[in-house]
Structure 1
Amino acid sequence: MPASNAMRLIVLPGDGIGPEITGATVAVLEAVSDRFGLGLQLEDDIAGHESLRRHGITVRPELLDKVRGADGLILGPMSTFDYTDETKGGINPSMYFRKNLDLFANIRPARTYPGVRHHAAEEFDLVVVRENTEGFYADRNMTSGGSEILVTPDVCISMRRITRECCERVARSAFRLAMTRKRHVSVVHKANVLKIGDGMFIEECRKVAAEFPEVVVDDYIIDAMCAHVVRAPGKFDVIVTTNMFGDILSDLTAELSGSLGLGGSVNAGVRYAMAQAAHGSAPDIAGQDKANPFSLILSVAQLLEWHADRLGSTAYAQASRAIEAAVESAVAAGEATADVGGRLGTKATGEAIVKRVREVAVPA
């Protein structure tokens, strides 16, 4: 019987390799829904190039209403660099949903996997929690207009917005997450130069830290942190930082694990969340059955965990852990794409995860 709290998800396959990896991901979701009696409701729609071709705009206004009426969103990779002119319908779907759904925390796990050659000095398991709605991003700072100003043809000024509210809520997300892990939070900043903005970020992180006395807290300047995670990533647990620093660190730590394709990503707010692969649309390999679907599959596992936390649902939490365990065992067995040392194509990799998710023991 379907669960009475069945989760309704909108699925947007995206551009390039998006339809291929989304197809594999949906098959995994259907399998885990059957096993744990979730009764997941998956509704397909379009955004990106397909929407631009059909409707003259990459994201239709009514699509936002549809997503708001659901419990979550699965966003396939989008050709972000192609969408430069909003007056011609070229809205960046990722930015659009993050901003309009107030998805303030981008949670990006990175870990090493048995059987995958990694690029770090040691094995590790950490999470980057990145503020997602302000910072040095021209599309998230102003109600009207952008935050980059071309003063002369040769001089540009870029402004950054930092608010106490956004600092506090992303810090709280990081500390709550740390309580479920190794109870260690590292605050990353550049307060030696950005004294006011990053100073405010540190202040808010320390205020939240006072509410979590069980959590060990330290802080690092961003440039030093990049060196530390390469040299000794195993000493970190949860890393919390502002938008642009987190954007860079999360890609770095995912690649250190062996491939950006092994990094999941969920954009979470209070009411909504969006699963999104950590990589781009890779049009050069689209349609060739080469794309690694693990990033999006792991992202939907995070989406189920977010829903489990909201509801206090054991079934959704078990489903999330089953997907993660299935990916780990498949990678170790070589049932993966070539970029992570496997021997399968995209579709066969998805089928391998489906088989494993039906049988794998679920960690407590």
Structure 2
Amino acid sequence: MTYRLGVLDGDGIGPEIVPAAVRVLDAGLAATGADPVEWVPLPVGAAAIETHGSALPDVTVETLDKLDGWLLGPHDSASYPAEHRARLNPSGFLRKHFDLFANIRPARAFEGTPALVPGLDLVVVRENTEGFYADRSTYRGTGEFMPTKDVAIAMGIFTRPAIERIARQACELALRRGRHLTIVHKANVLRTTTGFFLEICREVAADYPQLDVDDFHIDAMTVHLVRHGADFDVLVTENMFGDILSDLTGELAGSLGIAPSINASYDRAMAQAAHGSAPDIAGHGLANPTAMIASGAMLLDWLGASEAADLVNQGLRATVAGGTRTADLGGTASTSEFAEAVIGALA
């Protein structure tokens, strides 16, 4: 079947890496004989503020509701005008609006690159709708409030249904990988909230006797990842812990520029690189498109085009192993040169 996928370039390096990803994904689909994708460009970010008066116009959200999935480039909401900074950023809004509860973030070292943890190959499975990110955990408002000018309070929300579904996603993923699941929490201090998360994850994991299940406190987990990250397979954790850990594991693998992710519900998915918009290098052709390309490959795999997804990932690894790399990986290739090299590796 022909999939209809949205293309949202975003800010900063987004207009460079997202089109590069589209070109590579098209090449991967063509090389495997799959039906081509119908790409649907949609406004988002600073450019959308100029043209539509909103960083995420209604027309974008309404169109996404009719699509099979989409690529979202990074946003630089910190640079938006004040009235737009006060709103939920485009990524956060879309995750919440479409209930994209599973944020899947692989971290795998590339052969021949200066990875801080050689051999790292794990996935962070992050609950994406509640926890300690208060902007996504309540029906209305931000989940943050100030009873006086000197007191700020944020709510952390943990519910059984949300924990059960992310735990099941993590268990299913671990079954397809190394059959090792690690639950990350802070139950020794945050007993009622992350203790609840730990308890329910254990309950769900009991349905998967094939898995080796362990758990670590979040602070200890950072140490274990730095010292022997290659020993881990699938990590499942709450929203904020997952965000922090996935940035750490991306760098341990070699660079945030190679850290992909997908945000998924049961019926739709959004591909989004784990890194930010890097406005300091925007427009110079220096950005590494690997994370965006690999995120797109994750989307293809989620849609069922697994052969094309596998080929794209093989092309990425072959390109890097062959010495074509962007500056963050010690090379000299531009964004477009790297993408063309990957396309060449797919032939």
TM range (shorter): over 0.9
AA paired with 1:107? I
Q: Which residue of 1 aligns with 2:195?
A: 199
Indicate the residue corresponding to 2:314 in structure 1.
325
- Cα shift at 1:24: 0.8
Give a deviation string over 1:32-64, Cα, whole Å, max 9, x none. 121122321111111001110001111112211
Contact residue 184 and residue 216 of structure 2 kept, 8 A? yes
**Match in the other structure for 1:344:** 333
Shifted more, 259-268 versus 201-210: the winner is: 201-210
The residue number in structure 1 matching 2:23 is: 27
Q: Is the 8 A contact 2:5 2:40 kept in 1?
A: yes
Q: Taking structure 2 as the reference length, what is the TM-score of the superposition?
A: 0.96
CA distance in 2, matches of 1:31, 1:194: 48
Aligned residues: percent identity?
A: 48
Shift, 1:357, TM fit: 2.0
What is the rounded CA distance, in whole Å, between the counterparts of 1:129 and 1:88 in structure 2? 28
CA distance in 2, matches of 1:267, 1:9: 14
Native 8 Å contact 2:262 2:298 kept in 1? yes
Work out the CA distance in 2 between the residues paired with 1:66 and 1:336.
Answer: 36
1:91 deviates by 4.6
Partner of 2:159: 163
The offset of 1:336, in angstroms, is 1.8
1:309-363: CA deviation from partner (whole Å, max 9, x where unpaired) = xxxxxxx1111111111111111112121111222100111111111123xxxxx
Question: What secondary structure, in the 3-state scheme, does the structure 2 residue paired with 1:39 have?
Answer: coil
Aligned equivalent of 1:39: 36
Relative to structure 1, is the Cα distance of residues 145 and 90 closer, same or farther in structure 2, using a 3 angstrom cutoff? Answer: closer
What TM-score, normalized to structure 1?
Answer: 0.92
Partner of 2:287: 291
Which shifted more, 10-19 or 201-210? 201-210
CA–CA distance in 2 between the matches of 1:14 and 1:87? 15
Which moved further from structure 2: 36-45 or 223-232? Answer: 36-45
Q: Which position in structure 2 is the counterpart of 1:103?
A: 100
Cα distance per residue 1:253-275 (max 9 Å; x no partner):
00001101111110111111000
Structure 1: unaligned runs, 5 residues or longer? 309-315, 359-364
Q: Which amino acid aligns with 2:149?
A: P
- C-alpha deviation, 1:157, in angstroms: 1.5
Partner of residue 138, structure 1: 134
Asked if 1:9 corresponds to 2:5, the answer is yes
Cα-to-partner distance string for 1:139-167 (whole Å, 9 max, x where unaligned)? 11222222222233222111111111110
Question: 1-side partners of 2:85 and 2:78: how far apart?
Answer: 14
Pair 194,13 (structure 1): closer, same or farther in 2 beyond 3 Å? same
What is the deviation of 1:212?
A: 0.9
Q: Report if the CA contact (8 A) 1:84-1:91 is conserved.
A: no
Aligned letter for 2:40?
A: E
Whichever residue aligns with residue 269 of structure 1, its letter is S
1:204 positional shift: 1.5
Tell me the number of residue pairs that the alignment of Structure 1 and Structure 2 aligns: 346
Asked if structure 1 preserves the Cα contact closer than 8 Å seen for 2:46 and 2:80, the reply is no
**Which residue does 1:61 correspond to in 2?**
58
Which stretch shifts more, 127-136 or 152-161?
152-161
- Select between 287-296 and 144-153 the one with higher mean Cα deviation: 144-153
Task: Give the structure 2 partner of residue 72 of structure 1.
Answer: 69
What is the one-letter code of the residue matched to 1:140?
R
Aligned partner of residue 176 in structure 2, secondary structure: coil
CA–CA distance in structure 2, aligned partners of residues 30 and 240 of structure 1: 32
